[in-house]
Amino acid sequence: MKTLLAIIYNPVNSKEFIKYTYQMAEDLNYTPHFLYIQNPAIYSMSSGAIRPGAQPIGTEIEVDQKNALKLIQEKIKKVRKELPNNVPVNFSVETGAEDLLITQYISDKKAEMVVLEGRDKGSAWTTEAANAGIIQRINCPGWMIPYRITYNPYQKIIYATDYNETDIHTLKNLINLTGRFSPEITALHISDSDAFGEKTKEKGFLELVKKELKYEKILVKTLIDKEKKNPGVYINEYAIDNNVNLIVLLKENKSFIERIFKPGFTKKILKAAKLPVLVYQE
């Protein structure tokens, strides 16, 4: 069974994230591995000579590591008691640079997907510049899960597309991943071009989808951006209006992702749709 690496940011408040990931991993047929990463930079570089009574840095890290392991184990036990099943669960605590450790897990083939929890109460893509940066640097599919959301099976999905042939391969992977839900997938394109030209592209892409995928529950839709909004606004509005459970992006569409994760952009509009975001490699 493949491994889903789930990064815990705060062991004290980790139960809801563990619960969400546990349910998701079961439905996607993955083994969850919960990892808490200690950043050495947060520990004082001084010794007791400057802070009387302070513990050496190594001791501080060791104590925090034991406490974190205990907390995570307790949360996992509570979740497994609430949601009994046979899914194996792994967990660990490591000290080091977050990016390097996550990348090492992937390169060592200890994980095939990474899950990051939202670090505050906003939506996944308005408040999570740090998470978005990690997702764009890792070499595997990555999830961003908004802070404390309830798990819902992925039965309605938006796939953001620029009508590229590379999208077909990603859609195949998405169908394989979520196939047990038989989801309705909307390939959604946001354009500021003329409506006639985009409708022509839409028709050609739909024909390619039908030919290559042979999956009946895919819709292809174009929204014309007359007001020059950030594309994330349209995606979220469409998601809310259509009861969507998951938003999927392709990382290689860099300009699109950069526009969505633009700093300081329309938080009040986007945070209404607290949906998980899955970012694929090409």
The answer on pLDDT for 123 being more than 60 is no
pLDDT given for residue 169 in this prediction:
93
pLDDT at 120 over 70: no
pLDDT band at 254 (very low <50, low <70, confident <90, very high): low
Q: What pLDDT shows up at residue 257?
A: 61
| Tens digit of each residue's pLDDT (9 = 90 or more) over 262-282 | 544 434 334 556 788 898 976
Instruction: Give the residue-averaged pLDDT of 238-264.
Output: 74
Which pLDDT score is estimated for 70? 96
Reported as half-sphere exposure (CB side, CA atoms, 13 A), residue 278 has a value of 20
Domains in the chain, CATH or no CATH each: 2-117 (3.40.50.620), 156-276 (3.40.50.620)
Q: What's the CA gap between 22 and 269, in Å, rounded?
A: 30
Task: Quote the pLDDT of residue 50.
Answer: 40
Answer whether 233's CB lies under 8 Å from 190's CB.
Answer: no
Place of tokens 């513990």: 55
Average pLDDT over residues 10-23: 94
Q: Any idea what the Cα angle at residue 269 is, between residues 186 and 253, rounded to 5°? A: 45
Answer yes or no: are the C-beta atoms of 157 and 248 closer than 8 Å: yes
104: alpha, beta or left, given left = phi > 0 and alpha = psi -120 to 50?
A: alpha
pLDDT classification of 127: cutoffs 50, 70, 90? very low
Rounded Cα gap, residues 270 and 56, in angstroms? 44
Confidence tier at 36 by pLDDT (50, 70, 90): very high
Mean pLDDT of 11-17: 94
